[in-house]
Amino acid sequence: MRNKFLSAAILGAALLASPSVAATTIVGSAAVSIVGVAASTSSIDVGTTFTNTLFSVVGSATGDLAPVQGQNLNLSPLTASVGQVFTFTSSFGDFTGTVNSASAQGTPDNRTVNAYVLGTFTPMGSLAGFLAGPASATFAFTQTGSDLATSGSFTFASPPSGAVPEPASWAMLITGFGLVGIASRRRRHAVAA
């Protein structure tokens, strides 16, 4: 009984001593419309550079990114080739990343070019309470019809889709399983005695 009381007292003291709120990275996604897309070639393909000629706006957002719905972004040109750098700046944060993959589907007058950019998002403004962390931008540029007009959009996600756990997370998981194993062994010995 005394051990249970002592354990409860230690746990209570630890909870009172810990900070109530700790900064974390953003968890959420946002759909961004690119209004006024110009392509560097008359028929888009992998390797085409896309430029935002008018504006870009967050159409819908979820999770921690929900407050940024309706806000504008300033996009750098995006070249749909692996290794190319892409950035955006906004009142709620900056993103810098590198094209990880690019692909094209369709015929020359009806084609979609996709690009996946992996990088780091640094929150500011309305998201200033969060830490910088990994994020991704998944682009789709579409060109249709005889006039070859191009439209574009992208989904911004933090953490990136398909994120791999950090080594520290694995270490905590393995340590936790080890402690559960030790506790169950000690309990078996205590019951047998």
pLDDT at 35: 92
- SS3 label, residue 33: strand
pLDDT at 50: 96
Domains of the chain, by residue range, sit at 28-167
Indicate the DSSP class of residue 39. Answer: E
Whose CA is closest to 86, among 160, 138, 37? 138
31 neighbors 57 (Cβ within 8 angstroms): no
* Alpha-carbon span 111 to 175, nearest angstrom: 50
pLDDT at 129: 93
Residues of the chain with confidence (pLDDT) below 50: 18-21, 163-165
Whose CA is closest to 129, among 19, 27, 29, 22? 22
pLDDT at 148: 73
Check the CA dihedral 29-34-40-45 and report its sign. positive
* Alpha-carbon span 99 to 76, nearest angstrom: 13
Pairing of strands 93-107, 110-123: antiparallel
Which residue type is seen at 5?
A: F
* Alpha-carbon span 122 to 91, nearest angstrom: 11
| Whether this model's pTM surpasses 0.75 | no
pLDDT at 164: 45
pLDDT at 163: 43
Whose CA is closest to 104, among 48, 150, 154? 48
Whose CA is closest to 120, among 110, 130, 129, 112? 130
pLDDT at 192: 62
